[in-house]
């Protein structure tokens, strides 16, 4: 039976997933709690990714080595960079670049040494499934979020985007920094702190990986505003609904 690894960046997202698992057992490895069980008939291992590239890469490696995960999905929040990528939208990654990787002049900027590439692709089929599930959830956003929450965060007609997600060990929270990222990586739709690391690990193990991120901020001077409340009231509900919809559409194998 396939084993799905679910990595959540936020405690609230993981808690929402665990509330849906009838039989989860805690297994401690590498100082992390891995939750092994089932969700909608699928065999899953859910875990907090931890924040930043190294922490997330370690978590992913344990999922692959110790728990024999053969499909990996990641949920979290991200800062919107692309024009039209607004707070409350969802970005499904098509590929990932580490924006803080720079071994120039030995290698091209952003290229990961010895891999001959800067971009690690998400699995196309898995990403298409997550994009479909996201569209279904956002189409009925008011089923998952209260009117007050929608108004508070000015979420209206939220959209699903698919494209490049960039990762680095920085919470991007100034206009100057997000503008600088747009200049060097103009195709980037969103910035976060884990995706490219997990994509690289999954590339090494040849395990399909896809990630879905709710846009919590615009990576600008306002990026910290109501971050925690957004996670609680918007992002964790979206993540749960999107994963649940995705699993419902997926044949257990």
- What amino acid positions are annotated as catalytic residues? 13, 217
Q: How far is the CB of 56 from ligand SAH (least distance, A)?
A: 8
In the bound state with ligand SAH, the residue whose beta carbon lies nearer, of 43 and 243, is 243
In the bound state with ligand SAH, the residue whose beta carbon lies nearer, of 70 and 169, is 169
HSE of 43 in the Cβ direction (CA atoms, 13 Å)?
9
Residue 51 per-residue DSSP state? S
* Nearest 10 degrees: Cα torsion 177, 182, 183, 186: 160
The radius of gyration of the chain's CA atoms, rounded to the nearest angstrom, is 17
Q: How far is the CB of 199 from ligand SAH (least distance, A)?
A: 13
In the bound state with ligand SAH, the residue whose beta carbon lies nearer, of 9 and 112, is 9
In the bound state with ligand SAH, the residue whose beta carbon lies nearer, of 75 and 129, is 75
Q: How far is the CB of 111 from ligand SAH (least distance, A)?
A: 21
Q: State the residues that interact with ligand SAH by CB under 6 A.
A: 9, 51, 76-79, 171-173, 191-194, 216-217, 219, 223-224, 227-228
Cα distance between residue 149 and residue 131, in whole Å = 23
Q: How far is the CB of 180 from ligand SAH (least distance, A)?
A: 13
**Residue 121: exposed, middle, or buried by beta-carbon count in 10 A (0-12, 13-18, 19+)?**
middle
Cα distance between residue 54 and residue 193, in whole Å = 10
Contact in structure between 68 and 3 (CB atoms under 8 Å):
yes
Q: How far is the CB of 252 from ligand SAH (least distance, A)?
A: 30
In the bound state with ligand SAH, the residue whose beta carbon lies nearer, of 141 and 172, is 172
User: Shortest Cβ contact with ligand SAH: which residue?
Assistant: 79
- b/e map of 157-169 (b: 16 or more CB within 10 Å)? ebebbbebbbbbe
**SS3 label, residue 13:** helix
Show the tokens assigned to 184.
Answer: 């060097």
Spatial neighbors of 105 by CB under 8 A, at least 6 apart, are none
């Amino acid at each position: 039976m396939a084993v799905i690894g679910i990595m959540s960046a936020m405690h609230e997202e993981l808690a929402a997933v665990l509330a849906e698992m009838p039989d989860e057992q805690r297994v401690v490895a590498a100082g992390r709690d891995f939750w092994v069980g089932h969700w909608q008939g699928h065999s899953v291992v859910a875990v907090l990714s931890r924040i930043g590239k190294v922490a997330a890469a370690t978590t992913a490696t344990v999922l692959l080595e110790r728990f024999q995960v053969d499909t990996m999905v990641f949920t979290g929040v991200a800062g919107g960079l692309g024009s039209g990528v607004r707070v409350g939208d969802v970005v499904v990654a098509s590929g990932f670049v580490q924006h803080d990787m720079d071994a120039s002049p030995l290698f091209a900027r952003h290229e990961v040494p010895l891999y001959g590439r800067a971009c690690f692709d998400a699995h196309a089929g898995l990403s298409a499934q997550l994009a479909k599930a996201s569209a279904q959830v956002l189409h009925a956003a008011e089923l998952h979020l209260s009117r007050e929450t929608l108004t508070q965060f000015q979420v209206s007609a939220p959209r699903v985007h698919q494209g490049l997600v960039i990762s680095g060990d920085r919470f991007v929270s100034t206009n100057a920094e997000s503008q600088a990222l747009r200049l060097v990586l103009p195709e980037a739709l969103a910035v976060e702190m884990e995706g490219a690391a997990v994509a690289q690990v999954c590339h090494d193990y040849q395990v399909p990986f896809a990630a879905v991120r709710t846009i919590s901020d615009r990576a600008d001077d306002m990026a910290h505003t109501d971050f925690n409340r957004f996670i609680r009231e918007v992002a964790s509900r979206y993540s749960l609904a999107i994963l649940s919809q995705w699993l419902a559409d997926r044949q257990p194998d």
